[in-house]
Amino acid sequence: MATRKQERRWAREGALALLYSADMTEIDASEIIEAGAYPDEDIKVSEYAERLVNGVNENLDDIDRHLAATSENWSVDRMPIVDREILRVAVFEMLYVDEVPVSVAINEAVELAKLYGGEDESPRFVNGILGRIARKGEEKLDASDAASDFEGSDTPDAAPVPEPSLASEAESAFEPSSDSESDVLTTEWGSDE
């Protein structure tokens, strides 16, 4: 019997195959699912795979904005197709799927990049972009938390003391790569529970 982690990994692989196929054929992935015209007969489209595909399609503009804002020297259109679709699935999970921790979404994307990535550097590329998106998201959360803490303060000249955040935990878990000038990250990841 497959564990939840294995089922989710298979769902991500299925979603990746469908999104890649849709990108190559210029047919909407939702139409591919409805028609049952999967790119490989071994693909089983679970509910979670459908959720990923539909979520990426519904939020594509927002997802691509995040990718464009954090991918230095790469437009989203110039990224290798497989890497782009891996990133889109991961960003959807990071931004819209509350039950998947950000670190798990990143780790799973890096694993997909190792297996299917378009280039030798795909895992590092995927990890770097997703790490920057995670940090930017936490910076925004920290800023809004600090602003709301300050607004509720009886003493306006007292600066709010921010609580430790995922951003600081994530930064301590991330170790910058020493052989690159880019902000590529490596880390240890949690489980998908």
pTM confidence score? 0.71
Task: Kindly state the average pLDDT of the residues 48-77.
Answer: 92
Q: Is it the case that residue 88 has pLDDT exceeding 80?
A: yes
User: What pLDDT score does 171 carry?
Assistant: 35
CATH number at 59-152+162-177: 1.10.940.10
- Burial label for 185, CB within 10 Å (0-12, 13-18, 19+), is buried
What single-letter DSSP state applies at residue 186? E
* pLDDT classification of 46: cutoffs 50, 70, 90: confident
Q: Which residues contact 163 (CB under 8 A, 6 or more apart)?
A: 145
How far apart CA 67 and CA 86 sit, in angstroms, is: 11
Residue-wise pLDDT for 114-160, tens only, equals: 999 977 899 999 999 999 999 988 776 666 655 555 454 443 443 33
- Domain boundaries in the chain? 1-52, 59-152+162-177
Query: DSSP state, 72?
Result: T
Residue 141 neighbours by CB distance under 10 Å: 13
From first CA to last CA, the distance across the chain in angstroms is 16
Residue 17, Cα to own-chain centre: how many angstroms?
16
Per-residue confidence band for 67, with pLDDT thresholds at 50, 70 and 90:
very high
